[in-house]
């Protein structure tokens, strides 16, 4: 019985019993046809998971009966939600399900992927590539998706910045004997920044690109913006990047003014007056948008960073570090999603029992973790089919966002 249970949980025959084509039959993962529990309503299953996963009450939201979605959905002023965490934990699925939920609650919503390895298209089962807003079919209110192509966005920045202080200018200044200015340029490490962009740069530029979109009247209708962000490391670097870029671009612009007055010969590097002005304007705009990105991340009224994790010790440790860093950067965090929790089962196989024990340990660690314990915990079950397409996302969203 035990070995059969493991095998059926891991091998294709499972699909004969649990994976269904119709979304209406989406259900919890179960061990085998014999041990599969009676179908439970979503609400009941969710509560059972919460209670059985640990001897202690787990989620404040469940324990206190607080609805976590109410304050997310209320109000028509624009709000931003950024979902981030370790790679593969379900950030995209949670972000896409939140976007569907917002749209179905009446909010015109935009969901954006700034992860260089986009999976929004896969999640919605729709081609969303191309760097422009694409309407998503299905939800009640308008839902648009945007996958920013980091390469294109960076190229725009690169061409603007290079015209204003790339390595060509540095070499030229060296040859002109403008050592001091050349040194200042060197400090900016601009060439390095553009040639081997640090993780986070793409995302910073991608987010600033979104800000650019949202500045236009055409996109003023969106009241909820959901970001599917890149894995943790990128996110952390992203947080310090706007400051770094802001300072760098500010220095470049100042430096350019000095250069312009120092020698008219420099004109040959920057080109004609209008070109210089155009490039300077572009840089200035980028700098302003970077400042907006920085402010956006720290605006407690309009923005929230939701950490997504899975119940493993490694993922929980990383989430704890992520929260510590976000706190240090004054980024508002209120909720923690623990995704892929094993559903309850009347008779666990050995594999499932072990797995469940491991997950309980991870959930206990969350409760004792000073960084995570005070966050509103949202538990999302591991479901037995892949979450793809709007109906599946709607299903997941109704479980997670209550």
Ligand X SMILES: Nc1ncnc2c1ncn2[C@@H]1O[C@H](COP(=O)(O)OP(=O)(O)OP(=O)(O)O)[C@@H](O)[C@H]1O
Residues of this chain that interact with ligand X (CB under 6 A) are 87-93, 115, 117, 119, 231, 339-340, 380, 382-383, 386-387
| H-type alpha helices, 272-333 | 273-298, 313-328
Cβ pair 378, 61 in contact under 8 A:
yes
Q: How far is the CB of 90 from ligand X (least distance, A)?
A: 3
Strand segments (E) across 170-292: 224-228
CA distance 397 to 380: 9
Distances (CA, A) of 298 to 17, 42, 208, 327: 47, 35, 15, 10
Enter the tokens of residue 23. Answer: 């979304």
Judge residue 242's burial from the number of C-beta atoms within 10 Å of its C-beta, 0-12 exposed, 13-18 middle, 19 or more buried: buried
- Mark whether 122 is an active-site residue: no
- For ligand X, the closer CB: 91 or 287: 91
> Pick the catalytic residue: 70, 115, 358, 369?
115
How many CB atoms are located within 10 Å of the residue 70 CB? 10
Count CB atoms within 10 A of the CB of residue 63: 13
Q: By C-beta, is 46 or 270 nearer to ligand X? A: 46
**C-beta of 41: minimal distance to ligand X in Å?**
18
Quote the least distance from Cβ 225 to ligand X, whole Å. 17
Q: Taking the complex as a whole, how short is the minimal distance between the CB of residue 200 and ligand X, in angstroms?
A: 15
- The smaller minimum CB distance to ligand X, of residues 197 and 397, is found at 397
Which residue lies nearer to ligand X by CB, 365 or 382? 382
Residue of 298, 297, 324, 187 whose CA lies nearest to 244: 187
Q: Between 89 and 143, name the residue whose CB sits nearer to ligand X.
A: 89
Q: How far is the CB of 264 from ligand X (least distance, A)?
A: 51
Burial 276-313 (b: 16+ CB within 10 A, else e): beebbebbeebbebbbbbbebbebeeebbbbbbbbbbe
CA distance 22 to 45: 20
Q: Report the residue number, 211 or 382, with the smaller CB distance to ligand X.
A: 382
Q: How far is the CB of 306 from ligand X (least distance, A)?
A: 12
Active site residues: 115
């Amino acid at each position: 019985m035990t070995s059969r249970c493991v095998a059926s949980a891991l091998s294709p025959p499972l699909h004969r019993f649990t994976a269904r084509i119709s979304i209406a039959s989406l259900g919890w993962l179960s061990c085998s046809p014999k041990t599969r529990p009676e179908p439970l309503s979503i609400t009941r299953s969710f509560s059972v998971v919460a209670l059985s996963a640990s001897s202690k009450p787990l989620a404040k939201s469940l324990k206190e009966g607080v609805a976590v979605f109410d304050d997310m959905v209320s109000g028509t002023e624009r709000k931003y939600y950024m979902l981030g965490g370790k790679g593969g934990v379900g950030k995209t699925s949670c972000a896409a399900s939140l976007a569907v939920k917002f749209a179905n609650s009446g909010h015109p919503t935009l969901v954006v992927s700034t992860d260089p390895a986009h999976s929004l298209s896969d999640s919605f089962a729709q081609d969303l590539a191309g760097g422009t807003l694409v309407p998503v079919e299905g939800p009640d209110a308008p839902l648009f998706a945007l996958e920013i192509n980091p390469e294109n966005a960076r190229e725009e920045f690169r061409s603007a910045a290079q015209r204003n202080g790339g390595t060509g200018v540095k070499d030229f200044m060296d040859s002109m004997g403008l050592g001091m200015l050349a040194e200042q340029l060197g400090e900016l490490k601009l060439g390095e920044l553009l040639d081997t962009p640090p993780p986070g740069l793409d995302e910073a530029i991608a987010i600033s690109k979104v800000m650019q979109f949202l500045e236009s009247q055409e996109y003023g209708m969106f009241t909820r913006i959901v970001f599917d962000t890149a894995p943790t490391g990128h996110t952390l670097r992203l947080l310090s990047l706007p400051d770094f870029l802001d300072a760098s671009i500010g220095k470049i612009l100042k430096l350019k003014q000095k250069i312009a007055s120092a020698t008219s010969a420099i004109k040959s590097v920057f080109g004609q007056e209008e070109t210089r002005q155009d490039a300077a304007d572009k840089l200035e705009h980028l700098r302003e948008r970077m400042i907006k990105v920085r402010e956006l991340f720290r605006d407690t009224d309009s923005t929230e960073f939701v950490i997504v994790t899975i119940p493993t010790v490694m993922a929980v440790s990383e989430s704890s570090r992520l929260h510590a860093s976000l706190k240090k950067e004054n980024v508002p965090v209120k909720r923690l999603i623990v995704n892929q929790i094993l559903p309850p089962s009347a008779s666990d196989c050995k594999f499932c029992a072990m797995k469940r024990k491991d997950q309980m340990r991870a959930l206990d660690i969350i409760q004792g973790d000073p960084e995570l314990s005070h966050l509103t915990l949202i538990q999302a079950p591991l479901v037995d089919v892949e979450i793809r397409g709007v109906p599946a996302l709607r299903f997941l969203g109704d479980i997670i966002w209550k």
